Amino acid sequence: MPVYHVGVISVGIIGASGYTGAELLRLCARHPDLHVELATGDSQAGNAIADVYPSLAAGYRDRRFDRYEHGVADGLDLVFLGLPHGASQAIVPELRGRVAHIVDLAADFRLKDAALYSTWYHDAHTAPELLADFAFGLPELFRPTLQGAELIAAPGCYVTTASLALAPAIRAGLVEPTGIIVDAASGVSGAGRVPKTTNAFCTVDEDFTAYGLLNHRHTPEIEQVLSTGRDGSATIRAQVLFTPHLAPMNRGILATCYARPTGTLTTDDLLDHYRAFYADEPFVVVDSRSPSTKATLGSNSAHLTVRVDERTGWVVAIGALDNLTKGASGQALQCANLALGLDETTGLDAIGVYP
């Protein structure tokens, strides 16, 4: 692995004009070792970054969004892809070998089974030969595969929340891996920056609705994570019924997950297990308090709790995080730090903004 020096790691963000791209720009601006040399956003090409996102003015006073062209990223140390699903499949084959590390925030290379893309995304994968080369970017569960990785597929916000909430119990065999229920709610920024009737103010305000019933595309991703051990090998076959909801808030994910215990458990036992599982994790808080999205705002942290309901025989695991930080761009940066051999926490906050 190359030895990098402070402030000289060159970074490109392809798809920097969307919400995840803007969050990457924010995080990279305060990272002591990264320097953004390329920030493409074809829909905003030529426009000042600070005009589109005034919050970034102090870090990008005179910068404008670039247009993506073949070869524009050549020689960069690190490239983040913040593109709509499908676009990375066309770009990664030409980028690989021309840049040192690629972290993709889309779903293009998350699933290991190429056939699942036809089933859940309704399109055949165009670069299936690369799927096995991507490390799955959830450090708390797969850190060994991320250290020094060339190619990383960062998971989605729903997947991160549900997986962190369920994995400790599943890996220890404390709950059944099948018959799991995940009910999760996301802020509107999870739908992206492009205006749609479903994310317009008058649609979302004073409303709370479920969508993607029985067929949301993140379902196989959650199942893949929960079926996989720390070393990346499949150990069990998990099955999840996942129902996402849209909540009238800007940012945040709250996932309430239900599973059946395999034996006798108490809430104290389970909390102790979760605390031990995540004891060395800087971005995971395990507490008896019920997590809230507001508590994670702007941070790279996930807040978790668990309960055993002896009356009904269910285990309840709850997780909350900021969908644009730990659920997307912050986690991508956390993975990049690992790939580059930097301290994993560099440039990231564990403490949220309140109120």
**Mind telling me the catalytic residues?**
157
Residues ≥6 apart with Cβ < 8 Å to 41: 15, 16, 17, 18, 21, 47, 52, 65, 66
180-186 vs 101-104, strand pairing mode? unpaired
What's the CA angle centered on 84, arms 81 and 90, to 5 degrees? Answer: 65
Specify the 3-state DSSP secondary structure of 167. helix
Q: CA-to-CA distance for 154 and 110, rounded, in angstroms? A: 7
Of 191, 187, 142, nearest to 339 by C-alpha is: 142
Q: Distance between CA 236 and CA 201 in Å, rounded?
A: 42
Residue whose C-alpha is closest to residue 322's, from 19, 36, 59: 19
Q: H/E element holding 28? A: helix 19-29
- How far is it, in rounded angstroms, from Cα 248 to Cα 206? 7
Query: What are the structure tokens assigned to 304, written together?
Result: 């978790």
Q: Are 321 and 189 in contact (CB under 8 A)?
A: no
Q: What are 113's two structure tokens?
A: 């089974």
Residue 226: other Cβ atoms inside 10 A: 26
Determine the Cα–Cα distance for residues 279 and 301; give it in Å rounded to an integer: 14
Sign of CA dihedral 253, 83, 281, 348: negative
DSSP state of 99: B
